[in-house]
């Protein structure tokens, strides 16, 4: 990718898409297609194709598709699955049809089997049943991964997939019900601090473990991979360390400055017991995440505070 290469971030308004756009702009890329005209409805194949024909992007980061936390996946499985299937098909096909040189498709760590050996390596994909709380969404992401492989096999398209750890950061969805754990707990603990509430409810037992990656670091990894990776196998991108939900809740309590108690509600779902990624491929290529977790949490909270109170959720 050169400074004037035509680059399109599909889903430039998502957590990871917005981070990729920030990182591309900061590293001097002037050929970013986003913003030249309104992004099309990427679930609409015809409008997406017309957009690609007008803008002919050479490099495509596919960060589009609705996502959400465990509650959102339980409540809206059909919407999440359908949207991710539609945008995967329309963007991958348009990118191929309009001659994109490379496409990076962002999958999700929840597409690994529930009982996957840890840390999870790409060889374990499709080797067992998925986590029931997010199976439809996870299946849709696997379809996107498989679609990229099929376009590479049949047409020689240089399309590949990246499996990120649980990402968080500015421009996330901070809604208490639909957001992922970090933004949801930032919001809950902030509101509890302001209201002087004695405790904050954390869903589940607090025992599940997650690997988290700061969105700006993940964006950096995606740009690094677009520049340096071109093999058919998917590649994992993570932050390298796992935390229990209880530990991350404590770190968020510290970042927000909340003095109340954390109370676990085991009647709420835990989801996958453990999700950690084998990111050996990316590490061997020389990439490491740059942002320490405490700093990333503090920056994310500071961004959350810039939102006006009535908009303290980022509806996508
Ligand atoms: O982040 P989260 O919703 O996604 O939940 P998953 C992670 C863990 O945090 C679960 C617990 O064990 C939750 O029960 N948790 C505790 C909370 N309190 C809260 C809270 O207030 N909000 C939320 N959201 N969780 C997602 C998939 O699974 O992983 C998505 O559902 C996506 O499809 C994402 O793939 C990467 O890590 O459990």
Dump pLDDT digits (tens) for 270-303: 999 999 999 999 999 999 999 999 999 999 999 9
pLDDT at 311: 64
Q: Which of ligand 1's atoms lies nearest the C-alpha of 268?
A: 14
pLDDT computed for residue 316 by the predictor: 36
Element at 167 (helix H, strand E): strand 166-168
- Examine the pLDDT at 144 and tell me if it is beyond 60: yes
| 112 is a catalytic site residue | no
Q: How far, in Å, CA of 165 to CA of 170, rounded?
A: 16
pLDDT at 172: 93
> For 150, how many CA atoms within 13 A lie in the half-sphere containing its CB?
10
209 within 8 A of 242, measured Cβ to Cβ: yes
Q: Is residue 229 part of a domain?
A: yes
CATH, residue 36 = 3.40.50.720
- For ligand 1, the distance from its centroid to the CA atom of residue 180, given in whole angstroms, is 5
pLDDT at 47 over 70: yes
Compute the distance between CA of residue 55 and CA of residue 7 in angstroms, rounded to an integer: 9
Q: What is the mean pLDDT of residues 107-132?
A: 96
Q: Rounded to an integer, what is the distance from CA 174 to the centroid of its chain? A: 14
Atom of ligand 1 nearest to the CA of 72: 31
pLDDT at 130 over 90: yes
In a domain, 84, yes or no: yes
Query: What is the reported pTM?
Result: 0.96
pLDDT above 60: residue 314: no
CA 161 to chain centre: 12
Q: What lines the ligand 1 site, CB under 6 Å?
A: 67, 69-71, 73, 108-110, 134, 137, 166, 179-181, 184-185, 202-204, 208, 210, 245, 268-272
pLDDT at residue 68 is higher than 70: yes
Nearest to 138 by CA among 21, 265, 275: 275
Cα of 235 from ligand 1 centre, angstroms: 22
Helices (H), the chain: 15-26, 45-55, 70-75, 77-97, 135-155, 181-195, 215-228, 245-256, 280-284, 293-306
What is the residue range of 66's domain? Answer: 7-312
Residues 6 and 58: their CA atoms lie apart, in Å, by 5
1 assigned to some structural domain: no
Q: How many structural domains are present in the chain?
A: 1
Percentage of the chain surpassing pLDDT 70? Answer: 98
Q: What is the pLDDT of residue 315?
A: 41
Q: Which of 137, 214, 229, 258 is catalytic?
A: 137
156-211 pLDDT tens trace? 999 999 999 999 999 999 988 889 999 999 999 999 999 999 999 999 999 999 99
Instruction: With a cut of 80, say whether residue 313 has pLDDT above it.
Output: no
CA distances from 299 to 79, 251, 294, 305 (A): 31, 13, 9, 10
The answer to whether position 2 is within a domain reads no
In a domain, 297, yes or no: yes
**Residues sharing a CB contact under 8 Å with residue 308, sequence separation 6 or more, in sequence order:** none
- Domain assignment of residue 302, yes or no: yes
Cα separation, 50 vs 53, in Å, equals 5
Per-residue 3-state assignment (H helix, E strand, C coil) for 247-261 = HHHHHHHHHHCCCCE
Judge whether 62 lies within some domain. yes
Domain-embedded: residue 156: yes
Confidence at residue 308, expressed as pLDDT on a 0 to 100 scale: 77
């Amino acid at each position: 990718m050169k400074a004037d290469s035509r680059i399109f971030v599909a889903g430039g308004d998502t957590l990871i898409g917005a981070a990729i756009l920030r990182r591309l702009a900061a590293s001097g890329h002037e050929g970013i297609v986003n913003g030249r005209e309104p992004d099309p409805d990427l679930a609409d194949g015809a409008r997406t194709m017309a957009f690609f024909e007008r803008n002919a992007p050479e490099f495509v980061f596919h960060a589009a598709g609705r996502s959400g936390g465990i509650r959102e996946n339980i409540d809206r499985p059909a919407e999440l699955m359908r949207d991710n299937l539609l945008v995967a098909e329309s963007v991958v096909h348009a990118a191929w049809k309009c001659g994109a040189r490379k496409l990076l498709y962002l999958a999700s760590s929840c597409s690994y089997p529930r009982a996957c050996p840890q840390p999870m390596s790409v060889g374990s994909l499709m080797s067992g049943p998925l986590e029931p709380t997010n199976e439809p969404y996870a299946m849709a992401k696997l379809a996107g991964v498989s679609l990229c492989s099929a376009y590479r096999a049949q047409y020689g398209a240089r399309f590949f997939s990246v499996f990120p750890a649980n990402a968080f950061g500015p421009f996330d969805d901070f809604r208490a019900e639909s957001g992922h754990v970090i933004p949801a707990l930032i919001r809950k603990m902030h509101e509890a601090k302001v209201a002087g509430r004695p405790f904050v409810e954390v869903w589940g037992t607090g025992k599940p473990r997650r690997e988290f990656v700061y969105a700006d670091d993940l964006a950096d990894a995606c740009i690094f991979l677009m520049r340096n990776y071109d093999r058919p196998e998917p590649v994992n991108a993570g932050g390298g360390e796992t935390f229990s939900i209880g530990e991350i809740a404590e770190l968020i309590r510290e970042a927000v400055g909340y003095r109340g108690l954390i109370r676990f509600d085991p009647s709420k779902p835990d989801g996958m017991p453990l999700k950690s990624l084998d990111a050996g491929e990316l590490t061997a290529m020389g990439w490491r995440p740059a942002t320490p977790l405490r700093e990333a949490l503090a920056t994310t909270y500071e961004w959350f505070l810039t939102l006006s109170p009535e908009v303290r959720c980022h509806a996508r």
